[in-house]
Structure 1
Amino acid sequence: MNETSKVSIWEKIKTLGELKKSGYTPISVKDEIRNNLIEKIRNKENTFTGILGYEDSVIPDTERALLSRHNILFLGLRGQAKTRMARQMVDLLNEYIPIVAGSEVNDDPLKPMSKYARDLIAQYGDETPISWVHRGERYGEKLATPDVSVADLIGDIDPIKAANLKLSFADEKVIHYGIIPRSNRGIFVINEIPDLQARIQVSLFNILEEGDIQIRGFKLRMPLDILFVFTANPEDYTNRGSIVTPLKDRIQSQILTHYPKTIETSLAITEQEADVLEEQIAKVDISDLVKRLIEQVAFEARSNEYVDKKSGVSARLTISAFENAISSAERRAIIHNEKRTQVWISDLSGIIPSITGKIELVYEGEQEGPYQVAVNLLDKAVRTQFSTYFPNPEGMKKRRNTGKASQQERDDDPYKAITRWFDAGNHLDLFLDMKDAEKVQALYKVDGLYGLIKKYFPHANEKESALLMEFVLHGLAAHSLISKKVIEGKIEFKDLIGSMMNLGQMNFNEDDDLSEDDFR
């Protein structure tokens, strides 16, 4: 049936007799999804919209599973769009399906299974009222928690219903159906399935294998028609629970999800998901450089020794960080009554709360402290991205430290004028809430900084140049060519050797057990 005929059916058909005359043929939910998926693939339509980075991995695997009419387990770390994938499967359902009016379990009028539907059809025959259910109502979802019971999922005897209707507990009408039977002829999702107690998982065996349910002592034969989708985090297998083996065996397709594999994909996801207001967009510019630094933080975190890799680093980290970076610049603009500003590198100190709340630390990381780990991740992101914009100073630094750098190499060092300016005892303070104009003025004080930008980015405008100048300072600090210290709302740049000597002197002065005589 085409879309027009489907619309006319649900608008016109109100009784079982009319449905029979229309030529309606029942179809299982998995066949329904399969047919609509085939149509989408033939028409070159996106099966899962807004799901980025899965085009060559998770989406093809999911399509194969749906074509095979399989129940599915999405296995992956947090923040990998597992639930979103499941929810989008609703779009593969037919727009409307007919049910026996008033049925709690979406009884097919031509294949009634509940006592309610059978009794109604026996009483009214072809005059049995029919209602139509939209695909948006054919989706059930449950977060697995240790307190979930068999009654929640499958059902139980309702003593209140029995008392009100004056029925015996042996009467099928006293049954209160759980969320799974109520999702009949639709999609049902259980998130974090390992968190479900083992005895509750066992109650799902018969549903997955035979399609029917068992409630208390009732001998029910209700062949439920459901596509089951489960999600799980690999961490759960060791830390909280596990999927019992017989249940896992009954889930035909296990699909592994993953984090974005490239910065470009991660950028696109953040751009799509970040909740930034129009008034913020009108006030704050954010460069591609800053966006890449934010994404790089997540990539660094996923490989960092202090971060628990089994827990993962959600894509929500970069989304929250992006929003916080915009808000940091916006706050500064509001303080100084500036109509427009940009996100500076120093504004990224405002994304630290987005990092600390999104990473789980191993023991060594806890010892280091979440704040310091977040600062280190930001520095590593700057260090990694710096070499994609400017010459990598690491090689030159190594040769200089070993005394193997030739005079020509020293003369060709692009950072020589900048480091020499700091070595001469100069320092630069960049306050976090500085006016844009004041920050630009301060940056121009550093010898060789503007010249470096013009050499490698000759077409950069004034605003871009100023941002790149600040980036160079952070990059040189990340490569230990100059020192950087964040204190009392400002970032202080100094020469590295002088800062180390000052730190050593400070430690020396603070040691009460030693005096100068001890070193003579």
Structure 2
Amino acid sequence: MAYAQLSSPELQQITTLGALKKSGYKSRSVKQELRDNLITKLQSKEEVFPGIFGYEETVIPDLQRAILSMHHINLLGLRGQAKTRIARLMVDLLDEYIPVVEGSELNDDPLQPLSIFAKNLIAERGDDTPVSWMHRSDRYTEKLATPDVSVADLIGDADPIKAATLKLPYSDERVIHFGLIPRSHRGIFVINELPDLQARIQVSLFNILQEGDIQIRGFKVRLPLDIQFVFTANPEDYTNRGSIVTPLKDRIDSQIITHYPKSIEIGKRITRQEARIKPAQEGLVTTNELVRDLVEQVAVEARGSEFVDAKSGVSARLTIAAYESLISAAERRALINGEKKTYVRIADFMAAVPALTGKVELVYEGEQEGAGLVAEKLMGKAIRTYFLNYFPDPDKQKKKKTIPNPYKTVQDWFGSGNTVDVLNDSADKEYRKSLDEVPGLRDIVAFLHPNEDKDTTYFLMEFCLHGLAEHSLISRNRVTAGTQFKDLLSSMFTMPSFGGDEDEDEEEEKPRRRR
């Protein structure tokens, strides 16, 4: 009878090597565990990697094939593509508990002892050797590759303090202090950002991957380690900071390419799952699908933007942080105005700029506000894209003059010198009043979206103004407290201020190429 079939009370009764033998337990390698448990899940139609969206037909099948083949795995992809999360979910494919020699630092299998400690203990106590049970959550080790990582950290080294304490010569194997990899015996070991690991450190992994043993200084150590290795790497690292040395790459059996969400809907599922929206915020702020679409579209625009470094990628964390900021902007406004309920606005969407500026790597770097301007442009492009899903294309109205222009009343009002300010923190009453000042704006929304409630109607009215500005029918300028809309022609004579120094030398304002 395999131990995995034993109940928790039965496991607690197995506390010695003799009892373990009587239970019928048989040892399995960690790769065999992963393979067997994956087969069980596939046969029972159970979801293997829950919470991973968009990889159902690409990455996950490749990963399952690699596990069935008992391969070491390298997950290659740009940042924010769930590489580490996938590695962590592999723990669920391990047996819930495994027996270990109690007190062993290398998680020794009682039936196949590895360390001198375990071998000596079993030789001394035989079937009375104490056995404890290790949960699968303790069998996962993760290390971020950084320039200061040493061979001693990963593999091990002679410990002079240990030698002095135990009064042992350096020639005694017991003075070795084992590193992270030997201590991950019978588990999963993950190295994140493998190319960042120095080449000489990567070389130390050769024997471990190929032969399963380690080499520590002058010791003749033969440890047949049982480890499932998972590496993650970013293609950008291959050219910018380092690379995976060829012999090591050759020893990694499967390289699986990850990717960004291939649709807005998948992106929204990821954002909904990952965004940390508090219950208090959910009760206070009402959102809609359009604003969630806009958040995801920003990432799409960023990944195709000439201003954003494509090699660096645009993490899914961008949309998560942007959505969290959007909700917080609406929450803050409600708190300031003492409102018990508020509806999200386009102004809240535009207020999420700080969540974007640190998430994109620019091709050109200028002054500090450069990233902010790029973020605003990306948001503007997202608005322009989705505007056409809700309102007629203004460009077609210009070309086909026989078709009545639904925006004429709005354009004429702004053309008469009128302006409207939509302030970020204005109360709902003031917000609606400012939008109602624009004649014809409500009529456009009411005609195209007659069944919307009051809150959504005002949201679409604001969205319409931003969309018209993106199509150059009116002008939109950022002011300190919000956004000002006015006639396009008059705005040409007034340069918008984005917080920079107007007296700056023109040469200093030119963007500098990133080195």
Tell me the TM-score normalised to structure 1 length: 0.93
In the alignment, which of 412, 420, 424 is matched to residue 432 of structure 1?
424
Q: Distance in 1 between matches of 2:380 and 2:367?
A: 19
User: 1:47-102 deviations in whole A, cap 9, x for unaligned?
Assistant: 11111111111111111100110000000111111000000100000011111111
Task: Name the residue aligned to 2:452.
Answer: 460
Contact 1:306 1:364 in 2 (8 A): no
Task: Describe how 1:303-452 pairs up with structure 2 within 5 A.
Answer: 303-363=304-364, 369-397=370-398, 399=399, 405-406=400-401, 408-409=402-403, 412-452=404-444
| SS across alignment from 2:244 | coil
The alpha-carbon deviation at position 40 of structure 1 amounts to 0.6
Amino acid at match of 1:324: S
Q: Deviations over 1:237-295 (max 9, x none)?
A: 01100000000000000001111111111111111111111111111111111111111
Change (3 A) 1:355 1:367: closer
Does residue 188 of structure 2 align to residue 187 of structure 1? yes
Q: CA separation in 2, counterparts of 1:90 and 1:336? A: 48
8 Å contact kept, 2:4–2:95: no
My pick for the range that moved more, 157-166 or 365-374, is: 365-374
Partner of 1:384, secondary structure, is: helix
More helix by share: 1
Which residues of structure 2 form unaligned runs of 5+? 497-501, 504-515
Q: What are the equivalent positions in structure 2 for 1:265-284 lying under 5 Å apart?
A: 265-284=266-285
1:159 aligns with 2:160: yes
1:413 alignment partner, SS class: coil
Contact 1:155 1:175 in 2 (8 A): yes
The question of whether the paired residues in 2 share the 8 Å contact of 1:194 and 1:232 is answered with: yes
**Contact 2:476–2:483 under 8 Å retained in 1:** yes
Instruction: Calculate the aligned-residue CA RMSD, in Å.
Output: 1.6
**Which moved further from structure 2: 29-38 or 19-28?**
19-28
The letter for the 2-side match of 1:160 is I
Tell me the alpha carbon deviations over residues 193-232 of structure 1, each in whole angstroms, 9 at most, x when there is no partner.
0010000000000000000111111111110000000000
The 1-side partners of 2:224 and 2:406 are apart by 74
* Contact 2:3–2:25 (Cα < 8 Å) also in 1: no
2-structure distance, mates of 1:426, 1:484: 13
- The letter of the residue matching 2:374 is V
Shift in CA distance, 10/233, structure 1 to aligned 2, threshold 3 Å = same
For 2:308, give the aligned amino acid.
V
Task: Count how many residue pairs are aligned between Structure 1 and Structure 2.
Answer: 497
Describe the superposition over 1:421-474 as per-residue Cα deviations: whole angstroms up to 9, x where unpaired. 211222111111111111112212212111111111110011110000000000
Q: Which residue of 1 aligns with 2:483?
A: 491
CA contact (8 A) 2:3 2:23 kept: no
Corresponding residue of 2:507: none
* Counterpart for residue 88 of structure 1: 89
* 1:490 shift after superposition: 2.5
Q: How far 1:334 moved relative to its partner?
A: 1.1
Contact 1:307–1:365, Cα closer than 8 Å, also in 2: no
Q: Does structure 1 conserve the Cα–Cα contact (< 8 Å) formed by 2:76 and 2:258?
A: yes
Instruction: Give SS of 2:6's match.
Output: helix
Residue number in structure 2 paired with 1:514:
none
Identity %: 61
What SS class does the counterpart of residue 375 from structure 2 fall into? helix
Q: Which amino acid counterpart does residue 46 of structure 1 have in structure 2? A: E
Is 2:127 aligned against 1:126? yes
Could you tell me which residue of structure 1 aligns to residue 239 of structure 2?
238
Is this contact kept in 2: 1:365–1:373, CA < 8 A?
no
Normalised by the size of structure 2, how large is the TM-score? Answer: 0.94
AA in 1 matched with 2:372: Y
SS of the equivalent of 1:259 reads coil
Give, as a single letter, the amino acid of the residue that structure 2 aligns with 1:214: Q
